[in-house]
Amino acid sequence: MKKRINSFLFLALVVVLAIIFISPFLVMVLTSLKTNSDAFTIPVTLFPRRWVTENYPAALAAIPYFKYMGNTAFITVCSICGQMLVTPMVAYSLAKINWKGAGIISGLVMATMMVPITVTMVPMYKIYSRLGLTNSYIPLILPTFFGKAFYIVIARQFFAGIPNSLLEAAKIDGATEFQRFFKIALPLCKPVMTTIGIYAFLDAWSDYLYPLIFITKPEMYTLSLGLKQYMSEYSVDWARLMAAAVVFVLPVILMFAVFQKNFVEGIATSGLKA
């Protein structure tokens, strides 16, 4: 009997917590389906009094939404390419090549994770503005072609798990380091590359600070900037704002639905060992 009560209490706790965690999503979606005057009527109801979809076309027309989405998608695709290209190379060097620098560089990779972006932003701004590259996507994309610490750590972890015997067998057969990397290691690391691709997508899609610093021309805004701008100008029209937010969030949720396993594994392994 006591066990029954306990498990009932446990389930109640779980349900309450799950509802709390989901509620902002519900609020977002349900507010976007209300008329604005409905959203501002007392008593506040969770469900719309009248279900409408008019906020979606209205929000997408109020700001150049698809332009922003295109800009963001362009930056995101370039970033993913950059990270996918560089991360496995560097990680392979650190995990599978037996050289003196590997230990030092692994340490430095970890150290750069801790460098606050606020410390580097002024000099970076200074350089890019001297080169006339503000209001371009170069400052947002270029760094992704030089590897990001978090991804390298995840990939290094993965490479470390590949048995050396596989690579040594190829070495005896006369394969060069490059052949071993491309023909053996790279094909094996597809799962971890998916993980890194997803993180790269997420980071680029939601990036806020760098676009805020470098992009001032409205037609070059990313979704993050455009949405923030929209919010500060039309802060009374919450039904539309929520519709805009739903469209912004949707690709992320879809990605998450498909690749949840990769998300979870990436964090779990890196967080524990790193």
Partner 1 sequence: MKRRKWNQPQRDFINGLLFASPWIIGFFAFSVYPLVSSLYYSFTKFNAVTSPVWVGLDNFIDIFRDPLVFKSLGNTLFMAFISTPINLFVALLLASIVCVNFKGRGLVRTAFFLPSVIPMVAATMVWIWMFDPTYGYINNVLGWFGINGPSWLMDAKYTKWALVLMGTWNTGTTMLVCMAALQSVPKSYYESAEIDGAGKISRFIYITIPCIAHVLVYQAILNIINAFQYFQQVSIITTANAGVKGGGAAGGPENSILMYPLYIFENAFSYLKMGKASAMAWLLFIVVAVMTVIMTRITKKVTDNAGGE
Window 216-255: residues binding partner 1 (CB under 8 A)? 223-224, 227-228, 231-233, 235, 238, 241-242, 245, 248-249, 252-253
Shortest Å, Cβ 51 to partner 1? 18
Tokens of 72: 């963001």
Shortest Å, Cβ 27 to partner 1? 5
| Residues 227/220, Cβ–Cβ less than 8 Å | no
Binding to partner 1 by CB under 8 A, coded x per residue (else -) over 108-147, reads xx-xx-xxxxxxxxxxxxx--x-------------x-xxx
> Looking at 71, 79, 93, 157, which residue binds partner 1 (CB under 8 A)?
93
Residues 6+ apart with CB under 8 A from 41: 49
Distance from C-alpha of 255 to C-alpha of 194, rounded to nearest angstrom: 11
255-260 CB contacts, 8 Å cutoff, 24+ apart: 255/198, 255/201, 255/202, 259/194, 259/195, 259/198
Shortest Å, Cβ 216 to partner 1? 10
Distance from C-alpha of 29 to C-alpha of 51, rounded to nearest angstrom: 11
CB nearer partner 1, residue 61 or residue 264: 264
Shortest Å, Cβ 161 to partner 1? 16
Distances from the Cα of 55 to the Cα of 139, 179, 251, angstroms: 34, 55, 19
Q: Kindly state the number of chain residues that form the binding site for partner 1, as judged by CB under 8 A.
A: 90
| Residues 153/110, Cβ–Cβ less than 8 Å | yes
CB nearer partner 1, residue 4 or residue 100: 100
Shortest Å, Cβ 221 to partner 1? 11
> Looking at 35, 135, 194, 269, which residue binds partner 1 (CB under 8 A)?
269
The interface region with partner 1, picked from 52-60, 73-81, 157-165, 208-216 by CB under 8 A, is 208-216
Enumerate residues 24-83 that contact partner 1 by CB under 8 A: 24-25, 27-28, 31, 39-40, 42-44, 46
Count how many Cα atoms sit within 13 Å of the Cα of residue 55 in the half-sphere of its side chain.
27
What is the three-class DSSP state of 57?
A: helix
State in Å, rounded, how far the first CA of the chain is from the last one.
45
| Residues 86/77, Cβ–Cβ less than 8 Å | no
Q: Does residue 14 bind partner 1 (CB under 8 A)? A: yes
Residues 6+ apart with CB under 8 A from 24: none
CB nearer partner 1, residue 43 or residue 163: 43
Classify the phi-psi angles of 138: left when phi > 0, otherwise alpha if psi is within -120 to 50, otherwise beta.
Answer: alpha
CB nearer partner 1, residue 51 or residue 256: 256
Distance from C-alpha of 127 to C-alpha of 194, rounded to nearest angstrom: 33
| Residues 215/135, Cβ–Cβ less than 8 Å | yes
> Looking at 8, 9, 16, 23, which residue binds partner 1 (CB under 8 A)?
23
Shortest Å, Cβ 100 to partner 1? 6
Q: Does residue 271 bind partner 1 (CB under 8 A)? A: yes
> Looking at 101, 161, 191, 218, which residue binds partner 1 (CB under 8 A)?
101
Q: Does residue 164 bind partner 1 (CB under 8 A)? A: no
CB nearer partner 1, residue 101 or residue 161: 101
